[in-house]
Amino acid sequence: MREALEQLQEAIQHTLTLGLSRSEGLEPLRDALRALQACDALAPLAEGVQTVLDTPDARSQLNALARLHYTCEQCLARLQVYALPTDSESLSDESIRRVAAPADAEPFARLFRGEAALPEALPAIRERVWNWQPKDSILPLQLALAHSGTAYLAVERLRSLGEAALSVLIRLASSKNLMTRLRACELMLDYADPKATAALRGALPNTPRALPLLQKLRRRPDLQEFFTNTDTPPVSAWLGSVSNREQFRQMLQRAETQVMLEPSNSPSIRQLMEKAQQIARGELDYVRLLAAIPHEQATRLILEGGWLTMVGFDHLCATLDYRLTPLILSVYTQFGSHALNQLNRLGDAAFLPWVVQAGRKNLSAYGEAATVVSQ
C-alpha cells in the first residue's frame, strides 16, 4: 500500500511539473493507477486518478489532482508500516557511504537553484537519503527535509531507524532551516521518550506555526503552551463580537494558533465558517475570507470549490501548510519580493529557485539549503 501511495505522490508531482497538456506528463499517472488498482483499500484514490485521465478539462484535472495529492499526504502520514532498507551489510559498503557523504550535495544544489526539475533530481536524492547511515553527516537529511517535494524520503529513512532515530531528530531540530526544524519536531512528537519532550520544549518556540505541526500538537496539551495565549478568549466567544471583515481578520491574526489547534469536528470551526459567510460581500469575498482561516476545513472547502488558483497562495501563507506547496507551484509561476518575504516564514526550499532569481536577498532564511546554493 505504501509503495502505491508513494508512486502516486511522485506521479502527481511529475504531472504538475511537466504540465497537463503534455502526453508524457500523464503517463506516470497511468502507471500509478495500475499500482492503486492492485490494492482494494486504495480504490477511492484509483477512481480519482481515473477521473483525471478521463477528464478533458484542464481546470477540472488540476482540482482533482489537488485533492488527490492532499489525500495522499494524509494517508502517508498515518501509515505505520515502512519499507525502507535498514542497516545491512550492503549499506556498509565504502562506495555507498561515499555517495551519502556531506560534501556530495550537488543534486540538492541543482534542485534548489532551479537547474533541475524535481522529477529529474529525485533519483539521485533518493539514493543519498536511502543510503544514509547514523554515523554520517546529517546534511543530506537536513537538505531533504528542507524541500517539501523531497522531505518524505528523509521522513521514511528516519522512521525506518525506529527508536534510534530520536538522537538524529534532536540534532535536526536545531537546524538553521525552518522547514527542517519543523519536520523534525513533527517526527519527535511520535516519541514518548522524555528526551524527545525536552528537545521539543527547546525547539518549538523557534519553529514555524504551521498547520501540520499544530494538528499533531492537538494530542499534546503539555506542549501547547508555546503556541497559546491565556489572554486570548476562545474562538467561539470571540465570534460574537465580530461584525465585519476587518474584525474577522484581526481575530484570525490574534487567534491563529488557537484556530489551528481546534479539531476538524470542532463546533467553533463550524461557527467560524458560518461567520465568514455572514459577513462576506459575495462569493469572491467569502473565498478570500476562507483562505485566511488556518484550518484543514478551510483547505477542504477551497479544494472542493476549485478555488486553489484564486486564493491558494494566500491560504498557504495563512496555514504554512507545506503539503500545499506542490499544488501552489503548479498554478503560480512567479513570486514577487513581497511573496518571497512571506514565504521566509516557512523556509521551504521548493521556493529557492525564485529566491535565487530575485537576487538571493532572502537566502539567509533557508539555512543549510542556502549554504548549498551559495557553494
Quote the CA–CA distance of 39 and 7 in Å, as a whole number. 13
Quote the CA–CA distance of 117 and 330 in Å, as a whole number. 13
Residue of higher predicted confidence among 19 and 15:
15
| The length of the chain, given as a count of residues | 375
CB atoms within 10 A of CB 361: 11
Q: Shortest CA distance to 163 belongs to which of 141, 135, 143, 191?
A: 191
pLDDT of amino acid 90 = 31
The amino acid occupying position 149 is G
Residue 86 has pLDDT above 70, yes or no: no
Quote the CA–CA distance of 170 and 333 in Å, as a whole number. 36
Residue 99 has pLDDT above 80, yes or no: no
pLDDT tens digits, 307-357: 988 999 999 999 999 999 988 988 888 888 889 999 999 999 999 999 988
Residue of higher predicted confidence among 122 and 45:
122
Quote the DSSP letter at residue 209.
Answer: -
Burial of 247 (C-beta count, 10 Å sphere; 0-12/13-18/19+): middle
DSSP string, 318-349: HH--GGGHHHHHHH-----HHHHHHHTTT--G
Measured on CA atoms in the order 310, 315, 316, 317, is the torsion positive or negative? Answer: positive
Residue 157 has pLDDT above 80, yes or no: yes
Quote the CA–CA distance of 281 and 300 in Å, as a whole number. 22
CB atoms within 10 A of CB 128: 25
pLDDT of amino acid 20 = 61
Residue of higher predicted confidence among 283 and 104:
283
Residue 155 has pLDDT above 90, yes or no: yes
- Are 330 and 59 a contacting pair, CB within 8 Å? no
Quote the CA–CA distance of 51 and 263 in Å, as a whole number. 31
Residue 23 has pLDDT above 80, yes or no: no
Quote the DSSP letter at residue 103.
Answer: T
Measured on CA atoms in the order 185, 191, 192, 196, is the torsion positive or negative? Answer: negative
pLDDT tens digits, 241-286: 888 999 999 989 888 999 999 999 999 999 999 999 999 999 999 9
- Are 12 and 68 a contacting pair, CB within 8 Å? yes
- Are 372 and 140 a contacting pair, CB within 8 Å? no
pLDDT of amino acid 46 = 83
- Are 38 and 91 a contacting pair, CB within 8 Å? no
CB atoms within 10 A of CB 39: 15
Alpha helices in 79-220 (DSSP H): 94-99, 106-113, 118-130, 139-145, 151-160, 165-172, 178-188, 194-203, 211-217
- Are 119 and 14 a contacting pair, CB within 8 Å? yes
DSSP string, 18-77: H-TTSHHHHHHHHHHHHHHHT-GGGHHHHHHHHHHHH---HHHHHHHHHHHHHHHHHHHH
Write 86-92 long-range contacts (CB < 8 A, 24+).
86/160, 86/161, 87/133, 91/131, 91/133, 92/133
C-alpha cell at 249: 481578520
Residue of higher predicted confidence among 76 and 201:
201
Quote the CA–CA distance of 200 and 188 in Å, as a whole number. 7
Residue 81 has pLDDT above 70, yes or no: no
pLDDT of amino acid 336 = 86
- Are 350 and 321 a contacting pair, CB within 8 Å? no
Lowest mean per-residue pLDDT among 24-38, 115-129, 166-180, 295-309: 24-38
